[in-house]
Each structure stands twice: as C-alpha cells, then as structure tokens.
Amino acid sequence: MNRVKTIAVYGFISWLIPFALSIPLYPPLHETMMPLFKNIMLVTGMLTGVTLLVRYFRGVNADHVREGLVVGLAWLAVNIVLDLATLVAAFKMPVAEYFLYTGIVYLSIPIISTGMGFLLAGRQGVR
C-alpha cells in the first residue's frame, strides 16, 4: 500500500473503531454515566491511534518528525470530517457543541504522532 493510501486507511480505522464501540455504549450510558462514556471513548481512541501509529512508523525509515506531523494532521482532518458527517449532519449536533466536547480531543492525534516522530528521530541520533 502506498503512503497516502496507508495514511487514509489508517485514519479511517482510527475513527471507525471508537465510533463502532460508541454505538452500543451510548444509549445505556449517555444520560446516567456520561463521564464514563467519554472516558471509554478517550481510552479507545488513544489505544487505537497509538496501535495504528506504531504500525505506520514501522514503514518509516527517515524524516520521522515530518512523518509524525503529516500523519497526525491527516488523521486529525479525517476524524473531524467523518465526525462532522455523522455527529453533526446525521445526529444534528450543533457544530460549536461538537468542537467543545469532542473535536478538541482530536488535537491529541498530531501531538502524539509528532512526539513519536521525535522519539524515533532521537533514537537515530537526529534532533
């Protein structure tokens, strides 16, 4: 798979797994245990994202920091676009509410991916 396709497919998977898990969990938890629901989603998203980043970086041999930034920004965009299409458009969530409660969490994607890039670059003696 070429680099762009890998980034796109992994970005989609990084959105799909937490979204798929949220479908059965939301109805029983959203009214009485919303903090638990949010935390389950956060942990699931982080686990999925880090797992995919580890797989992605196995194919990266140079420019780790740049690759981390590129993949992180791409996945940020993919996740926000897919959320806007589902949560905002389909479920009629107000855009401001989406960014306040959900969208802002996605900023962790490029932070983690770029951090991984710096870690890998440091292991190769590049700073």
pLDDT tens for 44-100 read 999 999 999 999 999 999 999 999 999 999 999 999 999 999 988 888 889 999 999
**So where are the chain's domains?**
3-123
Reading the block at residue 39, the tokens are 């935390």
Reading the block at residue 35, the tokens are 């903090």
Three-class SS of residue 76? helix
Residue 113, pLDDT above cutoff 90: yes
The answer to whether the CB of 76 falls within 8 A of the CB of 110 is yes
pLDDT of residue 50: 98
pLDDT of residue 127: 53
Residue 126, pLDDT above cutoff 70: no
Residue 25, pLDDT above cutoff 80: yes
CB atoms within 10 A of CB 116: 22
